[in-house]
């Protein structure tokens, strides 16, 4: 069974905006855009935007010429794919295993399952009802092969069912009429292959089915990818060649819970139950050889309300005392109401964590757990945005060679370190202009005035020339010549000259002081 989420991106956007189709924010022309090298491009558009002339694949600037009132929101393809993966696991209610059909589809094995739902038609009806309750537009089809089910779901009638043939090899001898009328795009071919087939006059599957295999093989024999081979796709859709599918693994997050005989309302009892849950979570994580990076604690009240508290840590851990200490600060504002009758703790993000000796403080320092615990406690008290760490950034411009990231943010992809000359220990937040005296246009400075004081230059080292980042800067940005200088009192500075005489990018060069050397 093939499930196609025809308007996945828009359905997820509507859920985020808490509106229904054609109501609220969706009543206005809205498009989801993605940034490209040539500017924003429309990835999906709602009905109001389609009626106004906006289409998927159109550049935003072109769409706004026909629909000036078009509202935009960023597309989230990575979030859509993650949603489809979770949906594939949820779709196992209709079959023993399921696979993701990127970017917006799911394939479910429903072999010998339809009778449990009263037949294939009722199975499809149950599927459509379940997806409608979740606010998702869906098209589905059932066929003997994955390729045929995909083709019918995308290009066939709603809730299509293709019965298998009675021949030993289903669909192998002749093409059913339901497939013969489908366009060439139903074979899941690349765009350039579809263009070649249309130029040859092959627009439907029945046209391709009547062509001699040798002719197609000679025309596309150099193509190795399945999406570029019409013969292979035709054999897969007809069941002549098996199509391997990769089921989605159902990895359950570690979860522990406590159902209480009597509801609790007081903080000491709540802390005791949380401590028990932390001990249970530590044992569950240790059995998997993992540590928790993000924990969720749910508290079910007697009146049906659920209080959720999340905790994210700087490093993987499974120390019950550390977990209890962090959650203690997050439970101060919990309103127990008439009492809490159940608590549940779940590790939604885990990382591998080897067993380590806990009796020695040196072991904790060697594995970095002490620093992670400090960051966790600071983040809980001050907020995650208040605890930041400096990280290097790939830029040869001094003020851009470093950046600040949240302490809990994942590590950026590793990059080769850029080789520079020695940099000053202290850089000013912003280079300050200085007046250089008795300097030839291209020579060393003799004196300079900074913050109202005149400094005599005794020693000079340089220059170190840095060109502007042409891919980021404007064309009139000038290059820099950096110098290390020392004044008569032994103080050292890092200055630079912006521009050269006659470079065509301005008047005389300007001088700036950017750092203080040791």
pLDDT in single tens digits along all 518 residues of the chain: 999 998 999 999 998 888 887 788 888 999 999 998 888 999 999 999 999 999 999 999 999 999 999 999 999 998 899 899 999 999 999 999 999 998 899 999 999 999 999 999 999 999 999 999 999 999 999 999 999 999 999 998 877 787 664 444 444 456 788 888 899 999 998 888 889 888 888 888 888 877 777 777 777 765 567 788 888 888 899 888 888 898 887 778 899 999 999 999 999 999 999 999 999 999 999 988 899 999 999 999 999 899 999 988 888 899 999 999 999 888 988 999 899 999 999 998 898 988 765 544 444 544 445 677 777 778 777 877 788 888 877 777 888 777 888 776 666 655 444 555 678 888 888 899 999 886 666 678 888 999 989 999 999 988 888 888 877 777 678 889 999 999 988 899 999 998 887 777 777 888 999 999 87
Q: Which helix (H) or strand (E) holds 512?
A: strand 510-517
- Both 344 and 223 in one domain: the answer is no
- Both 71 and 91 in one domain: the answer is no
Stated pTM of the model: 0.55
487 lies in a domain? yes
- Both 114 and 218 in one domain: the answer is yes
- Both 68 and 183 in one domain: the answer is no
Among candidate residues 384, 309, 379, the one with its CA nearest the CA of residue 348: 309
Domain boundary among 333, 366, 399: 366
434 lies in a domain? yes
As for how many domains the chain has, the answer is 4
C-alpha to C-alpha distance for 267 and 13, rounded to whole angstroms = 39
Q: Which helix (H) or strand (E) holds 296?
A: strand 290-301
Among candidate residues 402, 403, 408, 404, the one with its CA nearest the CA of residue 382: 408
405 lies in a domain? no
- Both 84 and 230 in one domain: the answer is yes
Give residue-wise pLDDT tens across range 1-32: 999 998 999 999 998 888 887 788 888 999 99
- Both 84 and 226 in one domain: the answer is yes
Pairing of strands 388-392, 306-317: unpaired
The domain containing residue 431 runs over which residues? 426-517
- Both 438 and 344 in one domain: the answer is no
- Both 57 and 85 in one domain: the answer is no
Domain boundary among 342, 366, 390: 366
411 lies in a domain? no
C-alpha to C-alpha distance for 368 and 297, rounded to whole angstroms = 25
- Both 70 and 95 in one domain: the answer is no
55 lies in a domain? yes
CB < 8 Å & 24+ apart, contacts of 502-510: 503/478, 503/479, 505/476, 505/477, 505/478, 506/476, 506/478, 508/441, 509/441, 509/478, 510/433
C-alpha to C-alpha distance for 477 and 499, rounded to whole angstroms = 8
- Both 469 and 505 in one domain: the answer is yes
Joined tokens for residue 158:
């709603």
């Amino acid at each position: 069974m093939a499930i196609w989420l025809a308007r996945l991106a828009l359905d997820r956007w509507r859920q985020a905006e808490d509106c229904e189709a054609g109501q609220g924010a969706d009543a206005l022309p809205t498009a989801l855009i993605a940034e490209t090298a040539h500017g924003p491009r429309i990835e999906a558009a709602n009905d109001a935007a389609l009626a106004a002339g906006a289409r998927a694949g159109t550049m935003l600037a072109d769409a706004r010429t026909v629909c000036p009132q078009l509202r935009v929101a960023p597309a989230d393809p990575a979030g859509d794919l993650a949603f489809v993966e979770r949906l594939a696991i949820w779709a196992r209610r209709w079959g023993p295993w399921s696979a993701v059909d990127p970017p917006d589809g799911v394939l479910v094995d429903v072999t010998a399952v339809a009778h449990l739902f009263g037949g294939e038609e009722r199975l499809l009806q149950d599927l459509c009802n379940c997806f409608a309750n979740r606010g998702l537009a869906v098209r589905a089809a059932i066929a003997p092969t994955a390729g045929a089910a995909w083709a019918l779901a995308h290009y066939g009638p709603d809730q299509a069912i293709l019965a298998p043939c009675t021949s030993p090899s289903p669909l192998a001898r002749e093409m059913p009429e339901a497939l013969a009328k489908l366009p060439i795009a139903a074979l899941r071919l690349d765009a350039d292959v579809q263009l070649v087939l249309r130029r040859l006059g092959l627009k439907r599957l029945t046209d391709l089915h009547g062509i001699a295999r040798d002719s197609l093989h000679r025309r596309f024999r150099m193509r190795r990818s399945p999406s570029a081979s019409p013969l292979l796709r035709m054999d897969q859709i007809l069941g002549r060649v098996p199509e391997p599918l990769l089921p989605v693994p159902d990895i359950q997050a570690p979860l522990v819970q406590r159902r209480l005989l009597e509801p609790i309302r007081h903080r000491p009892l709540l802390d005791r139950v949380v401590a028990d849950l932390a001990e249970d979570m530590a044992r569950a994580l240790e059995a998997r050889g993992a540590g928790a990076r993000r924990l969720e604690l749910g508290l079910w009240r007697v009146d049906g309300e659920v209080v959720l508290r999340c905790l994210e840590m700087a490093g993987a851990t499974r120390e019950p005392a550390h977990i209890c200490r962090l959650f203690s600060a997050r439970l101060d504002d919990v309103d127990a109401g008439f009492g809490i009758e159940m608590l549940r703790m779940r590790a939604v993000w885990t990382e591998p964590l080897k067993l380590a000796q806990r009796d020695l403080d040196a072991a904790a320092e060697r594995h970095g757990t002490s620093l992670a615990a400090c960051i966790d406690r600071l983040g809980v008290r001050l907020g995650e945005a208040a605890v930041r760490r400096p990280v290097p950034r790939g830029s040869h411009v001094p003020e851009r060679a470093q950046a600040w990231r949240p302490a809990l943010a994942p590590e950026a992809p590793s990059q080769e370190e850029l080789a520079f000359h020695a940099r000053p220990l202290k850089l000013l937040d912003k280079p300050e202009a200085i007046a250089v005296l008795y300097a030839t246009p291209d020579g060393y400075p003799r004196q300079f005035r900074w913050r109202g004081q005149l400094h005599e230059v005794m020693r000079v080292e340089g220059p170190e020339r840095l060109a502007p980042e042409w891919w980021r800067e404007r064309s009139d940005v000038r290059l820099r010549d950096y110098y290390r200088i020392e004044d008569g009192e032994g103080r050292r500075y890092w200055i630079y000259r912006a521009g050269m005489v006659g470079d065509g990018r301005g008047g005389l060069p300007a001088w700036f002081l950017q750092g203080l050397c040791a």
